[in-house]
Structures are given as C-alpha cells and as structure tokens.
C-alpha cells in the first residue's frame, strides 16, 4: 500500500511543478508584453517630441537663411555702389587725394581693385550655403571697409 500512494504523490508533485512553471511563464509573458506596450508608447512619445523639435529647428534655419539672403543682397548693393565710386575715382585719377599718388605709383591698382570688387560681388551672390554666404559677406564687408578707407584718404 505504501508504494501505490507514493506514485500518486509523485504525479501530483510533478503536475504541481509543471503548473507553477506554466504560471511563472504566463506571468513573465504578461510582464514582457506590458513592457513592450510601455516601450512602444514611450518611443512614440519620443518620436513625436523629436519631430516637433525638428520642425521648429527647420523653421528657425529657414528664417536664418532668409535673413542671410537679405544681408547678401544688401552687401552686393553696397559693393556695386563701391564699384561705381571706384570707377569714378579711377576716371578722375583720384585728383586731390592720396589715391592720386597711389594710382600714379601703381597703375595696375585700378584694374586690380576693379577685379577684386567684382570677385566679391560674385562671391556674395553665389555662395552655396548659409555658412559660406555669411563668410563671404564678412570678407566682402571687410574688403569694402578697406576700400572706403583707401578712397577717403
């Protein structure tokens, strides 16, 4: 009688162990599914926030590019006025200014400066990107200031 009862107890214990393992697996799958849902929601929120920030950055970049474009147009106009003033100064040979002596000592200066002005205009107008356009504007404004100083003396 003792042997028959122990076999039945072993079957009950095995069934109980299998049930515990299945319940543990079910709980693990429920937790894993919950984590997947939670992770999906968090990733969706992150994606929305990132897209929103990217749209704001693109708008700011477009505004900056617009402002730089206007600065480039203004700079090109200033350079064209400088070009006109330089042509007038060369035509009059800078009479009565220090430019008169510079042009007399260096006859190639008139053509050299004319080419530099034209190159600056092209550089400002045809810079391919905002950063390069800003650099071109900076160079052109420095050059324009140098030329105006030279012509004012």
Which is higher by pLDDT, 90 or 15?
15
> What is the structure's pLDDT at 153?
64
Quickly count: other Cβ atoms within 10 Å of residue 106's Cβ: 10
> What is the structure's pLDDT at 3?
53
Mean pLDDT of the residues in the chain: 88
When pLDDT is averaged across residues 10-26 and rounded to a whole number, the result is 93
Q: Please tell me the distance from the alpha carbon of residue 6 to that of residue 20, in angstroms, as a whole number.
A: 21
Query: pTM for the full model?
Result: 0.63
Q: Please tell me the distance from the alpha carbon of residue 44 to that of residue 34, in angstroms, as a whole number.
A: 15
pLDDT tens-digit profile of 91-145?
Answer: 887 777 777 777 878 888 888 989 999 999 999 999 888 899 999 999 999 999 9
Q: What is the CA radius of gyration of the chain?
A: 40
Query: Confidence class of residue 5 from pLDDT cuts 50, 70 and 90?
Result: low
């Amino acid at each position: 009688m003792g042997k028959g009862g122990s076999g039945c107890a072993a079957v009950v214990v095995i069934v109980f162990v299998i049930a515990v393992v299945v319940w543990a697996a079910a709980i693990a799958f429920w937790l894993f599914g919950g984590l997947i849902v939670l992770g999906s929601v968090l990733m969706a929120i992150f994606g929305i926030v990132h897209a929103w920030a990217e749209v704001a950055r693109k708008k700011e970049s477009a505004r900056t590019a617009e402002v730089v474009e206007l600065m480039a147009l203004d700079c090109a106009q200033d350079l064209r006025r400088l070009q006109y003033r330089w042509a007038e100064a060369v035509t009059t040979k800078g009479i009565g200014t220090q430019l008169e002596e510079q042009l007399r000592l260096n006859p190639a200066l008139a053509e050299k400066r004319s080419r530099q002005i034209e190159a600056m205009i092209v550089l400002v107008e045809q810079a391919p990107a905002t950063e390069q356009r800003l650099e071109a504007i900076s160079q052109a404004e420095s050059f324009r200031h140098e030329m105006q100083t030279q012509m004012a003396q």
